[in-house]
A = this chain, B = another copy of it.
Amino acid sequence: MTTAPASTASTQDFNKLLDATAADTEALLDRLLSDKPEQGEILRPKRLIEAMRYSSLNGGKRLRPFLAVASAAMFDVPRQGALMAGAALECIHCYSLIHDDLPSMDNSDLRRGRPTSHKKFDEATAILAGDSLLTLAFDIITRDDVHRDPTVRLLLTRALARAAGIGGMAGGQIMDLAGEGRFGDKEPPDVAKLQQMKTGALLKYGCIAGALLGQASKEQYASLDAYGHAFGEAFQIADDLLDVEGDAAALGKPAGQDAALGKTTFVTQLGLDGAKRRLQDLLKQADAALAPFGAKGDVLRAAARFVAERQN
């Protein structure tokens, strides 16, 4: 049980920390997604565990688990608990990608350059793999090695349900579909509110998880909540800017998809310069929110810059 360093982090140091958390998350998910049933489970059907592993292993930067680990590290809590919370969060993220890719949702054939779940397997399997990853997240977050205090684990569980559910990510997804005119008239959505739900809620949960694991004071909790809020919006603006100005090769997908779909984004709403100014404002807000933590906040400061400046 070690705690991650939380001192001044250069970009290189930051990337190292990010990679280390990704590797630990990968190993943990590999273990949690074994084909051996846990107590209370009858068996884990081969096809279903294969589909769950396909969409959750070898995946991405693991930014959400990183936020949980980095925010928890500010409170010197055992790294294992933060990794568990991060793994639960990542299960939710991966479930949402499987379901969002379905033909009736975004109808995507490719994700990170590989066939999406319903293309690799079939629609029924993809739906059940998503359902099962969502369910597994709530199994993981209740376990003893998340935190010694049951009350903390309960708070983490309930906050995760609210970040993922109707008032969070799932609610954001239906607002996004509504904004495309899928249920009748196309009504330009409130982009800030939509992203706060669709992508922001899970990113903020990573930060909040650290505060809960660290049994933070009310003031510290509010600081991480404010940081997570700014981080989530910065993440989405950077995403919207990349879709306009990004390089398809670096992105691993064509740029200009939002415009092609006629989507309302931060860029269409604020203009290119307005979106860039807003992004800089958010970085300042994120920095300011971390002020009470002094040097311990350096990793999260670097995380906000990383997200704002990323090229993919």
Q: Are B105 and A44 in contact (CB under 8 A)?
A: no
Nearest B residue to A151, CB-CB: B150
Known A135-B165, A138-B138, A158-B139: A171·B104 in contact at CB below 8 Å: no
Q: Do residues A128 and B173 form an inter-chain contact, with CB atoms below 8 A?
A: yes
- Min Cβ gap A67→B in Å is 17
**A136 (CB) vs chain B CBs: closest residue:** B165
A42 at the interface (CB under 8 A from B): yes
Q: Are A165 and B125 in contact (CB under 8 A)?
A: no
- The smallest beta-carbon distance between A170 and chain B, in angstroms, is 5
CB of A168 closer than 8 Å to a CB of B: yes
> Assembly of this chain: how many copies?
2
**Which of these, B41, B142, B162, B165, contacts A168 with CB under 8 Å?**
B41
Q: Find the B residue at minimum CB distance from A170.
A: B132
**Cβ of A311 to closest chain B Cβ, rounded Å:** 30
User: Cβ of A38: which chain B residues have Cβ within 8 Å of it?
Assistant: 162, 167
The reply to whether A135 and B48 form a contact with Cβ atoms under 8 Å apart is no
A123 is an interface residue with CB less than 8 A from chain B: yes
CA distance A164 to B201 in the complex (A): 24
A154 interface residue, CB < 8 Å from B?
yes
* Residues of B contacting A162 in the complex (Cβ-Cβ under 8 angstroms): 38-41, 139
